[in-house]
Structure 1
Amino acid sequence: MTTRLNRQFSRTGPDYRFGDQVCFDEIKTTFGFKTIILGHWVTKNEQHVAANLIYDALADLAQILAIPPKAIGLRNTLNLAFGSRGQKGVQAHYEPDRRTLALAKNAGAGALAHEWWHAFDHYICKHLFEHCSPTDFASSMWLKTSPNISHPLNQKLNHVYKSVLLSENGEQPSNFFTRSMSLDKQLGRLYYSLPEELTARAFECTIAYQKEIENEFLVSDVIHSKLERSGGFPLTGERSDIAQKLICYFQSLGNVLHSQQI
């Protein structure tokens, strides 16, 4: 049987591995994951192929965001599952109760950036709000109440959430939010306009459209996709504003983390 791991994924970026084969233990150490879980039906060959693809994708993500690679694991709180904990018809998903980013063995490609944002959005909630439940996402909390933990980085992240979710004057939903609500009406259920999904799509759109590094395993099905044509991603002007604020936040975060040698 041919799996998606057998296909070639388009990538333009630095050669972090210098052509070497990596293993999942190296991924755990390099990117600071708490644990890595491999499914019982993942063969040795699939492990080898997937390890290289995931390593390059996470290294690309850290490079784009200008954060230390170890920061990807969110201070050793994030678990990574590959070929395990899959959900039927789902490429990848994030489980907040288990703090686990799960990639399907044969269908996880292209969803890594989107799901990593979910993990970050969940992790950062307690750093923005004094009172949040273990499963709250910061983006969802942000719409309900103002962040009450003061920090210069939080101010920059506040600008990110505002640019995605609210109009310029901060009094109405953003056009991106409004278009997503229309998509939900067509869909017949609440999904596209969930704050955590809006911010995840804004994040993966930022990653997809930056020009220095391209990685189809990290993010795909954004540019010229059916969802983009339907207004489900930020449009050109919106995208530029959101990207500027997102990259500004992560670069500032990276500067702090590098100074702490994380």
Structure 2
Amino acid sequence: MNQLSLFDYFPNQNAVLSANALVPAETKGRVHRNSKNSYVYDVGEELLGAKKHLSQQSRVDWSKIEENPSVAYQMVCKNELLKDFDLRSLQVEGFTSEAAFAIKLIWARVCQNPEDTPQKRADYIQGIGALQSILSGAKDEDRMNKAFQMLKEALYQARLSTYSHKIDEQPELVRSQFWLALGDRFQSLFFSTRRGRPGLYNLIQKAFYSEQGKDWNWLNTSRVKKTTIKENKEKWERLVPEEVVRKSNEPSGVNKPDDLIDIFGVRGVQFGNWVQDVAGRYHVLSCGHALNDLVGLLDIPNMAASFHGLLGLAFGARGSGSASAHYEPGSNIMNITKLRGGGSLCHEWAHALDFNLYSFSHQFSNGKPLSLTGHKPGNYLPRNVGIAFTELMKIIKEGDGVKRVIVPDPLPSEEYQYRARVVELLEMNNYDIDAAMQVLKNGNFNVKPRMWNDIGLLYCNILQRKGLEVPDSFGVPTDESNFLLDARSRGPYWKRDHELFARAFESWIEDELHTAQLDNSYLVTGTKFGGPYPLHEEREDINDAFRNWWQTLNDSGIFHDDQNWNR
């Protein structure tokens, strides 16, 4: 492929890109695929990026890519634009090993993605093309130094273009601004930073005057894989009944894949190659019932289940099999696996809600898919909705949770000495360590975070010296919820804001179903058995916060007007 064709961003030229690029379907009307089956056939917009697409190729009109900012964000990146560039080809083309190694180091300095705006993406594509053009002739040290001088001058002009008075004096400087889109690390090659002189000096030394750049040995050096030590933690698995349990008299009206589009507005339905017709029927009917029960509980229109046509739905088409389901923010698709998907639809819909509300708040001008949890919403989200959501997340994460600390055996001595009033608290609380620690938190003792474990061990030593029983563990009081503390103990994945939100959401929905004397184990199940879900008073408080936030959402009319979701 001619690499430079990628950089013709605005002219009407096509470039071949990888199949997992998410291209909006241009087919008009209802499209059926694999229609020999009664239930398992793809319908609606083709949801690209599935396993069955990975070996195919799609063509993208770069002049129109900004019609979908999410697609543009994924496509305009270093990996995509340089995917056909192979450093090994430089050896055949007559580059010295040192010059080729320098090129490798230069590309490593270019940022993976530009800023998330149409102009910055256009600048980034132009910058990638210009850099490749300059480096294409730098086959040895002499010609590489000339390329460095060209780049240094170009970056200098680009820096000048950031000053309005310079633009007034030299309007042509605007034409150099695209270089800045390649990122700060690239710019630091040519300009001094707080850390010292420009990085170009070190790059030249490394490439041309060290053993690393010689004899093409660097090409054959395999990357050392990082190994991570995983704690031997019990893996949580959702408890799902063997058969779907649904207690409701409300028919969904869904009997075939087309109905999911007609009734709930799903933009496309997709099945994996190995989903048999009987399994497809099971998922189609169960999903229809689940979405029907969900919109009924939330008091939103049927079409709001798909955010008025934005959400795609896949069954056994995109998962690895190890997870029961997943949501893809970039493509806005929920995938339910063919064997393990029961009970997880509500969780994945919560993720879709999180990401689609963020996009709504920016009127879908954001290219990078982000969640409302953990990110500042755009100006289009009503202020009272934002306030209620902030309060919800605060209640989810904050509280009077107690972190359990295992007492080591043998018991180590305490490291520090503490005031008598700290020591006396144990006796004053009948030698109950947890009670004494709670008094420490509530009193005016100014205990620093690093002190808590040591004070607990101090109390254990006192019990041991007095011949009293030393507990297996003691509690350290915190300002976090037990829900968040439990998530922290399970690992980084569990404590992410969007995961906390999704698990709290499905807990709330299961409780609302119970209150309404309903049940739907395909929609949600298993949140009441402990594990990674809110419990007891925390759960009630979180549910109340959800009810308040959702009432505020409904009052705003966000979900009731399809014009709000026009992209």
Smaller-chain TM-score range? 0.7 to 0.9
Provide the residue aligned with 1:139 in structure 2: 373
In 1, Cα distance between equivalents of 2:254 and 2:268: 20
Matched, 1:206 2:508: yes
Provide the residue aligned with 1:3 in structure 2: none
For residue 156 of structure 1, report the CA deviation from its aligned partner. Answer: 2.3
For residue 26 of structure 1, report the CA deviation from its aligned partner. Answer: 0.5
Give 1:9's match in structure 2, choosing from 233, 244, 248.
244
Residue 511 of structure 2 aligns to which amino acid in structure 1?
Y
In 2, Cα distance between equivalents of 1:214 and 1:260: 29
Give 1:181's match in structure 2, choosing from 480, 488, 503.
488
Once the two structures are overlaid, the 10-residue window that deviates more, 156-165 or 51-60, is: 156-165
Once the two structures are overlaid, the 10-residue window that deviates more, 47-56 or 193-202, is: 47-56
In 2, Cα distance between equivalents of 1:195 and 1:261: 28
In 2, Cα distance between equivalents of 1:50 and 1:83: 10
Matched, 1:244 2:544: yes
For residue 77 of structure 1, report the CA deviation from its aligned partner. Answer: 1.2
CA contact (8 A) 1:68 1:254 kept: no
Matches within 5 A, 1:64-143: 64-128=297-361, 134-141=368-375
Q: Deviations over 1:165-184 (max 9, x none)?
A: 2349xx95433222311232
CA contact (8 A) 1:34 1:78 kept: yes
Give 2:398's match in structure 1, choosing from 148, 155, 166.
166
CA contact (8 A) 1:206 1:243 kept: yes
SS in 2 for 1:101: strand
For residue 116 of structure 1, report the CA deviation from its aligned partner. Answer: 0.6
Relative distance call for 1:95 and 1:246 in structure 2 (3 A) is same
Calculate the aligned-residue CA RMSD, in Å: 2.8
In 1, Cα distance between equivalents of 2:378 and 2:286: 39
Give 2:290's match in structure 1, choosing from 35, 46, 57.
57
Q: What is the count of residue pairs matched by the alignment?
A: 240
SS in 1 for 2:373: helix
Give 2:260's match in structure 1, choosing from 10, 27, 34.
27
Matched, 1:224 2:526: no
In 2, Cα distance between equivalents of 1:258 and 1:109: 26
Residue 72 of structure 1 aligns to which amino acid in structure 2?
A
Alignment gaps of 5+ in structure 2: 1-240, 401-477
For residue 35 of structure 1, report the CA deviation from its aligned partner. Answer: 1.2
Matched, 1:47 2:280: yes
In 1, Cα distance between equivalents of 2:351 and 2:395: 17
Higher relative contact order (CA 8 A, sep 6+): 1
For residue 196 of structure 1, report the CA deviation from its aligned partner. Answer: 0.9
Residue 549 of structure 2 aligns to which amino acid in structure 1?
Y
In 1, Cα distance between equivalents of 2:560 and 2:320: 39
In 2, Cα distance between equivalents of 1:99 and 1:259: 20
SS in 2 for 1:138: coil
Relative distance call for 1:174 and 1:148 in structure 2 (3 A) is farther
CA contact (8 A) 1:92 1:107 kept: yes
Matched, 1:194 2:496: yes
In 1, Cα distance between equivalents of 2:244 and 2:560: 34
In 1, Cα distance between equivalents of 2:367 and 2:393: 19
**TM-score (normalizing by structure 2):** 0.39
Once the two structures are overlaid, the 10-residue window that deviates more, 111-120 or 232-241, is: 232-241
For residue 243 of structure 1, report the CA deviation from its aligned partner. Answer: 1.3
Identity %: 26
Q: Deviations over 1:180-200 (max 9, x none)?
A: 11232xxxxx11111111111
CA contact (8 A) 2:507 2:534 kept: yes
Provide the residue aligned with 1:187 in structure 2: none
Alignment gaps of 5+ in structure 1: 1-5, 185-189
SS in 2 for 1:81: strand
In 2, Cα distance between equivalents of 1:69 and 1:233: 28
**TM-score (normalizing by structure 1):** 0.81
For residue 133 of structure 1, report the CA deviation from its aligned partner. Answer: 5.6
Once the two structures are overlaid, the 10-residue window that deviates more, 48-57 or 124-133, is: 124-133
In 2, Cα distance between equivalents of 1:37 and 1:21: 16
For residue 105 of structure 1, report the CA deviation from its aligned partner. Answer: 0.9
For residue 251 of structure 1, report the CA deviation from its aligned partner. Answer: 3.6
Q: Deviations over 1:211-247 (max 9, x none)?
A: 112111111222124x1xxxx2112211112112223
